[in-house]
Structure 1
Amino acid sequence: MATRLVQVNIKARDDSALGRFWAEALGWGVSSEGPGVTNIEPVGFSWPDPSAVCVDVVTVPDPETVKYRVHIDLATTSLAHQAEWVARLQDLGATPADIGQGDVPWTVLADPEGNVFCVLEPREIYRDTGPIAAVVVDCADPRAMARFWGEAMDWTLHEVTDDHATFRSSKGVGPYLEFIRRSGVPTVWNRIHLDLLPYAGDDQAAEVARLRTLGAIDRDLGQGDVPWTVLADPEGNDFCVLGPGR
């Protein structure tokens, strides 16, 4: 048994407005599985497919705007492309963000609801990822995260050091999942989290039980009776194990 990362879930005050921003930012299409939920996927995409990690934007009451553990890095193909994309994102409503990054070659922005993301300078490693280069998770111990997530998912561990751990789909396509060592990792409820999906034919309940044996813990965020299960990894990062209907 195993799971795979299929989407990033963003909590929002207005899923429709924030969903439009991210769809236009990524050049993807928009759909909805129900009120308060906006799905952003590549046009013509057949979900799930490892070539992309999709974005779900979900309306919740008064989401906080603080420093969260998870953010998205966007890939560029040239310095000109980076500059053009930053300008276009600001036209769409993104704003420059100062998180203490100093003089770096990437640009830090915040989306219209304050979620920070980065537009990277061109890097060879991200040349074939699509618009999302990586989903980045701040953590205290990348090696411990590599052990948990390496067992939780069937993604391939590409590199692990004391400072970072890097995964990618076992198919060798799509964006990376990166755990970066940070001091003072926030312990607040995550506004952005990862959604995992078992493979067809695997039992969701059995997969959740397996993840608990690896160190995942149950989380009650007031989700009520839903077809997914909310868990947290050993460092408290929330994630969901989706059912057949997401």
Structure 2
Amino acid sequence: MTPRRFGICIDANDPARVAEFWAAVLDRETETRGEEIALLPRADDDVRIRFVPTQAPKTLENPHHLHLTSSRPEDQQRTVDRLLGLGATHLDVGQLPEENHIVLADPEGNELCVIEAGNNWLAGTDFLGEVAADGSRETGVFWSEALGWPLVWDEDGETAITTPSRSAKVAWGGPPSAPRGPRDRFRFDLVAAEDTGPVAEIRRLVGLGATLVEETYEDGRWARLKDPDAYEFVLLAPR
């Protein structure tokens, strides 16, 4: 069986602008698919990223965000300077003076962190080292089983999983704490394995603890579901 893949979907008022920013940050090509724009992965384990249009403005902090790594001490500031030149801005989310990561926002205010060099947690990961998420232990375990990725952290309600090649982590910091609106702008995707059908895959995910919201079967989307913490995600057909 081919592996399942993980991705993120971000609502954007100007998908082309936000996709252009992230394509430059991550050195990826873009592909327009109808109204959405996707960043093409460069390796099998790359986190899939797509941007979809919305008219709704961003008013709340995202419950999930991305962490970028630094190989050497000087790399962190170089990355920050490069992102600022691409349209990022500094952001204060209550970080403490002793914390060494730098918080930025992309051109539409989506939070991201540039992590300092020598960070042991992200040692060995790629430049896009982590998707950091709000979420309970139950949700971390759900995604581990849904993707077939191992749990590499499971302590005090915090969990983390890693791609098969250990190129990136997805980590849940505990029960959801960020205020939630009617729709999260930053959501997860699960790309099905090539030899899995939609009916069986939906049934499997529901059996693991997901809740089915809607079966779609349009434009490569098999279903919308919610994880155990009621964060919506989309089940995508294999590409």
TM-score w.r.t. the length of structure 2 is 0.89
The answer on whether the counterparts of 2:5 and 2:192 sit within 8 Å (CA) in structure 1 is: no
Q: Pick closer, same or farther for the CA change 1:54–1:20 going to 2, 3 Å.
A: same
Provide the residue aligned with 1:159 in structure 2: 153
Q: Kindly indicate whether the alpha-carbon contact (under 8 Å) linking 1:187 and 1:236 is maintained by their aligned counterparts in 2.
A: no
For residues 187 and 47 of structure 2, what CA distance do their matches in structure 1 show? 12
**How many aligned residue pairs are there?**
235
Q: Aligned residue for 2:12?
A: 12
Is the 8 Å Cα contact of residues 11 and 63 (structure 1) preserved in structure 2?
no
Aligned-pair RMSD on alpha carbons?
Answer: 2.3
Please point out which of 127, 131, 136 is paired with 1:131.
127
1:112 pairs, out of 107, 116, 127, with: 107
Counterpart of 1:21?
21
Letter in 1 for 2:37: T
Give the C-alpha shift of residue 62 in structure 1.
2.0
TM-superposed CA distance for 1:2, in Å, is 9.3
* Aligned counterparts of 1:226 and 1:100: Cα–Cα separation in 2: 40
Question: Take 2:200 and 2:3, find their aligned partners in 1: how far apart are those partners?
Answer: 11
How far the C-alpha of 1:63 sits from its partner, in A, is 4.1
Alignment of 1:1-246 (within 5 A): 4-34=4-34, 36-42=35-41, 45=42, 49-50=44-45, 52-103=46-97, 104-122=99-117, 123-139=119-135, 141=136, 143-169=137-163, 171-181=164-174, 184-188=177-181, 189-219=183-213, 225-228=218-221, 229-244=223-238
CA–CA distance in structure 1, aligned partners of residues 70 and 235 of structure 2: 31
Report deviation, 1:12. 0.2
Amino acid at match of 1:131: F
CA deviation after TM superposition for structure 1 residue 148, in Å: 1.7
Q: Conserved in 1, the CA contact under 8 Å of 2:191 and 2:235? A: yes
Aligned partners of 1:212 and 1:6: how far apart in 2?
A: 17
Distance 2:218 2:51 in 1: 19
- Please tell me the residue identity of whatever aligns with 1:4: R
**Aligned equivalents of 1:83, 1:37: Cα separation in 2:** 32
Q: Residues 127 and 150 from structure 1, CA distance in 2 versus in 1: closer, same or farther, beyond 3 angstroms? A: closer
Q: What percent identity do the matched residue pairs reach?
A: 29
Unaligned 5+ runs, structure 1 = none
Cα distance, 1:158 vs structure 2: 0.7
Q: How far does residue 6 in structure 1 lie from its aligned partner after superposition? A: 2.9
Change (3 A) 1:157 1:61: same
Change beyond 3 A, Cα 1:204–1:230: same
Q: Is the alpha carbon distance of 1:59 and 1:224 closer, same or farther for their aligned partners in structure 2, counting shifts above 3 Å?
A: farther
SS of the residue 1:219 aligns to? strand
- Structure 2 gaps of 5+ residues are none
Task: Say whether the 8 Å CA contact 1:15–1:38 is kept in structure 2.
Answer: yes
Q: CA deviation at 1:185?
A: 3.4
